[in-house]
């Protein structure tokens, strides 16, 4: 439990409310990088699939851009450790997509980047 006080030249303030601080959240590093990202398109529905990242994974983050390496179309945590994602209502165009794995210690490097073409 932690409390904070402000120090002045002649006195200290009252203590703040008490909070719990957890150190060493149970992991030692970010997960490894997911691999083998592939996609399929059916109309405006895009299905992404990839190989699980090594290490403890809480969720995956999908990053997409309108040009290679960009993140201007999407940067969304899936909230899941599942290795598939179905997106419906995707607009026509070409999207450059990659996945990251996430845990309490951080986010992995990007998977292979794929160009997803939606007619």
CATH number of the domain residue 78 falls in: 2.60.40.10
Counted residue by residue, the chain has a size of 119
Q: In terms of pLDDT, which residue wins out, 100 or 9?
A: 100
Asked if the structure places residue 20 within a domain, the reply is no
Residue 39 forms part of a structural domain:
yes
Q: CA 109 to CA 88: how far, in whole Å? A: 26
- Mean pLDDT on 32-37: 98
Q: Which domain holds residue 94?
A: 35-118
Residue 22 domain flag: no
In a domain, 76, yes or no: yes
d(CA 10, CA 58): 48
Domain count, the chain: 1
Question: For residue 103, with 0-12 CB atoms within 10 Å meaning exposed, 13-18 middle and 19 or more buried, which class applies?
Answer: buried
pLDDT at 13: 72
- Inside any domain, residue 91: yes
Q: Which DSSP string corresponds to 1-24?
A: -B----B-SS-BPPP---B----S
Higher pLDDT, 9 or 24: 9
| Residues 55-108 pLDDT 10s | 999 999 999 999 999 999 999 999 999 999 999 999 999 999 999 999 999 999
Q: Is the pLDDT of residue 114 over 90?
A: yes
């Amino acid at each position: 439990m932690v409390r904070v006080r402000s120090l002045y030249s002649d006195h200290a303030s009252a203590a703040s409310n008490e909070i719990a601080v957890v150190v060493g959240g149970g992991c030692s590093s970010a997960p490894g990088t997911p691999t083998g990202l592939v996609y399929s398109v059916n109309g405006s529905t895009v299905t992404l699939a990839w190989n699980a990242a090594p290490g403890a994974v809480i969720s995956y983050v999908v990053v997409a851009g309108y040009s290679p390496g960009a993140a201007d179309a999407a940067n969304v945590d899936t909230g899941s450790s599942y290795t598939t994602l179905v997106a419906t209502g995707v607009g026509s165009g070409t999207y450059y997509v990659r996945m990251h794995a996430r845990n309490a210690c951080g986010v992995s490097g990007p998977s292979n980047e794929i160009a997803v073409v939606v007619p």
